[in-house]
Structure 1
Amino acid sequence: MRDTPWPAGYRIHPRADGPAPETVAAFRSLPVAAIGDAMGRSTGAYGLRRYHGRLDEVLCGPAVTVRVRPGDNLMLHKALTMVRPGDVLVVDGGGDLRQAIVGGLIRTTCVARQLGGLVLDAAVRDLAEWAEDGMPIFARGHTHRGPSKDGPGEINVPIACAGMAVLPGDLIVGDADGVIAVPAAEAAEVLQRTRAHLAREAEIRAANRSGSADPERFDAVLRAKGLPV
């Protein structure tokens, strides 16, 4: 507990522990689409683009959250001194695309600190460097214009990133389909639900492949809506 209040617009809280390491590792092999299905199909980020090179590169790790003033990355630099290997920086930059808040120099720091990746509701620059393997990044867009470093900003606070609520320590998973946040307290349960969902999908896929899919699966829905099928 601080003896004095933070200046207006500034807060820096300690890093939050995420799910157990074995749970994080298990999520690395699960598709984001299946995780989203297991969570009700109505959660996760939207409007972000993948800027790293390999389509099969997976982003997966506990969130270190950052809220910045649009176009400013002072607190992002501070957050990079607090992360642990495997953490994912999730940044609420207000969706602003006028100034990039990360570029090639920050990428070098991220690689050195073995960051798990970045998710930005903001812009990125130095695309050729981010396109190299080894540092997954999703962002709202890109521009050549660089950031200011004046603040204010907050670290490890609840944020909204691209329509996705994120708490410090939440598990962030990203793949070719997009990015999703799994609440840390629910990660073990969501893991089991996702595995069960994938098992059901495997049965449906086998039926589709063999041509033996049951038409009643959809006819029942149509009849319930009053269609004479």
Structure 2
Amino acid sequence: MKPVTTDLCDAYEDRLAAGTLRVMAPVFRAFGKQDAFAGPAATLKVFEDNSLVRTVLETPGQGRVLVIDGGGSLRCALVGGNLGVLAQKNGWAGIVVNGCIRDTAELDACDLGIRALAAHPQKSQKRNIGQSEVALQMPGAVVRPGNWIYADADGVLVSDEQLEG
């Protein structure tokens, strides 16, 4: 199913009001071949260090979306072309980054959806520092492991449970 975030917002106004469906702030740019994607969230909190991003993307994605809180840093990239290929190969549906990506042409060739704040040519540090499967404060919405992510050209939604669209 290709999510249509506007239809989901209209159909689930009660959940928006209750806070069980949340809309991320409209700050993300789209990359990757898939303009719309959905799946349960795997979460990662890092800052200017993408070593754990690789570790997670090396595992079977099983249609999940990796949500990375990079602290909003605009000083380096957390995901590049090699990691995009790895995510595609391992069955990840998408990646949402509160931070930057690089190798945009390579990522745009990957069959997955990617949302990030911006592109940046510099790679990150490799210190193996970060936390996985923790609640994240992303722009405009909290994301917990297992929440459902729905993304398309109109925005990114976070739901406490899977929605019928």
**Interval of TM-score (by shorter of Structure 1 and Structure 2):** 0.7 to 0.9
Query: What TM-score, normalized by structure 2, do the two folds share?
Result: 0.87
Instruction: Using the TM superposition, give the Cα deviation of residue 164 of structure 1 relative to its aligned residue in structure 2, in angstroms.
Output: 1.6
Fraction of identical pairs, as percent: 28
59, 67, 71: which one aligns with 1:94:
71
Is residue 160 of structure 1 aligned with residue 137 of structure 2? yes
Task: Tell me what 2:86 maps to.
Answer: 109
Higher relative contact order (CA 8 A, sep 6+): 2
Mapped partners of 2:114, 2:135: distance in 1: 20
28, 45, 52: which one aligns with 2:24:
45
Mapped partners of 1:87, 1:106: distance in 2: 15
Query: What TM-score, normalized by structure 1, do the two folds share?
Result: 0.64
Mapped partners of 1:164, 1:77: distance in 2: 24
Task: Tell me what 1:59 maps to.
Answer: 37
* Structure 1: 5+ residue stretches without partners: 1-27, 196-229
Give the number of equivalent residue pairs: 158
Mapped partners of 1:162, 1:179: distance in 2: 10
1:48–1:162 Cα contact (<8 Å) kept: no
User: What's the C-alpha RMSD, in Å, of the aligned pairs?
Assistant: 1.9
Letter in 1 for 2:24: A
Task: Tell me what 1:36 maps to.
Answer: 9
Letter in 2 for 1:49: R
Mapped partners of 1:84, 1:111: distance in 2: 9
Normalized per residue, which structure has more helix?
1
Is residue 85 of structure 1 aligned with residue 62 of structure 2? yes
> For 1:1-229, what aligned pairs fall within 5 Å after superposition?
28-37=1-10, 38=12, 39-40=15-16, 43-46=22-25, 47-53=27-33, 57-69=35-47, 71-184=48-161, 187=162, 190-191=163-164
- Aligned partner of residue 101 in structure 1, secondary structure: strand
* Structure 2: 5+ residue stretches without partners: none
Letter in 2 for 1:67: K
